[in-house]
Amino acid sequence: MPTILQLRRGTTAENAAYTGSAGEITVDTTLDKVILHDGSTAGGTTVGNLQGNIQLGKTAAGEIDTASGNLTIDSAGGTVTIDDNLTVSGNLTVSGTTTTVDSTTISIQNAFVFEGATADAYETTLNVKEHLEVLAFTIKYVDRRIPVIAGTGANSTIEAIELTSEAKRLGADHALLVTPYYNKPNQKGLISHYSAIADAVNISQILYNVPSRTACDLLPSTVAILSNHKNITGIKEAVADEIRIKELVAISKDVNNEFLIFSGDDPTFMKSLLLGTHGVISVSANVSPNTHSQICAAVRNGELEKAKKINDINTNLYRLMFVESNPIPVKWALYKMNMIKNSIRSPLIELDETFHKEIVSEMIKLQLL
């Protein structure tokens, strides 16, 4: 049988006059507040309310010790957050689906891509100072546990060099460089642009081609030339064209067998894997990273039926993450998962309400909510 913990309770006036023992918790029944006492201060310290957050550990003696029996924390359908280190002496049992360890951790598979097209950087909503501050935080937080790929592309070669240099200085493992947007350089201009960055900064650099958003298409023949540079190590290709994918895979086989091809198109990424690409840098993976990791692993292991089954289950999620301009749907989905705040910077605006019900329904179906 679990131990039932009954807290001392009283009105605001009664709590104000009461000096509790060190670590004792009482309840203010007037204001529905939780009070933590330190053994000497009358009234103690308010640490939360019964409908919201409760913080413990305000004093050196602020511990919970059941002595024997069980301690149950039940949020009544909400979220329990432990925003610091948690030490468990003995066994910790978690029932249910664990999605977050803290507010900055989702489930990360294989590599962490910072500020690709799904982040706010390529929507030009972060200034350079913010861009670098977030990158520095990401690198520090990841702490070399997995590679960090930093988005450092720009429509100015000089700015791209500066951002890539800073990414290297901060400790990023790779740079992801979108083609220059708006000014539409030709193929010779793209060779000049990417060669200049690769010459200037000694860091692994991944080309990024997404002409639907940049109005600039990096052709496979140009990629073949750039793949000979020692610092240009791969490409994220977001064009969903089988012939193009085959041409890029041929580069990794015939021109430079260390050159990596990543799909950048969720609906067709599994087909690209079957054609010989090496992985995916994905939008929907922000919501369901395990799915993409499992599909990639299954294809690598020759378990094609398993990969197809997982992929088929998630095809509607891929579609829903693009019902409005990326990253509007995926950021709203992450908000519903309690991963981030419900905010997006202008000129992008919050997801239209007409899509809310369908996205929530699909996320429940996939056990993401």
The helix (run of H) or strand (run of E) holding residue 291 is helix 289-300
Annotated catalytic, 208?
A: yes
| Residue bearing tokens 């064009």 | 239
Q: Name the catalytic one among 208, 318, 331, 336.
A: 208
Phi, psi (deg, nearest 5) at residue 9 = -135, 155
- Strands 45-49, 33-36: pairing kind: antiparallel
Please give the torsion angle defined by the CA atoms of residues 43, 64, 341 and 93, in that order, rounded to the nearest 10 degrees: -160
Angstrom distance (rounded) from CA 355 to CA 29? 41
E runs forming strands in 179-231: 204-209
259-285 burial: b if 16+ Cβ within 10 Å, else e = bbbbbbbbbbbbebbeeebbbbbbbbb
Q: Name the catalytic one among 33, 168, 236, 331.
A: 236
**Nearest residue to 272 (alpha-carbon basis) of 233, 306, 301, 307:** 307
Farthest-apart Cα atoms in the chain, separation: 81
- As to burial, measured by CB atoms within 10 angstroms (0-12 exposed, 13-18 middle, 19+ buried), residue 4 is exposed
| Residue bearing tokens 């007409």 | 354
**Nearest residue to 81 (alpha-carbon basis) of 102, 63, 105:** 102
Angstrom distance (rounded) from CA 205 to CA 197? 9
Cβ atoms 20, 26 nearer than 8 A: yes
Angstrom distance (rounded) from CA 307 to CA 300? 10
Annotated catalytic, 181?
A: no
Angstrom distance (rounded) from CA 115 to CA 96? 31
Residue 327: cis peptide before it, omega within 30 degrees of 0? yes
| Residue bearing tokens 């053994």 | 39
Q: Which residues are catalytic?
A: 208, 236
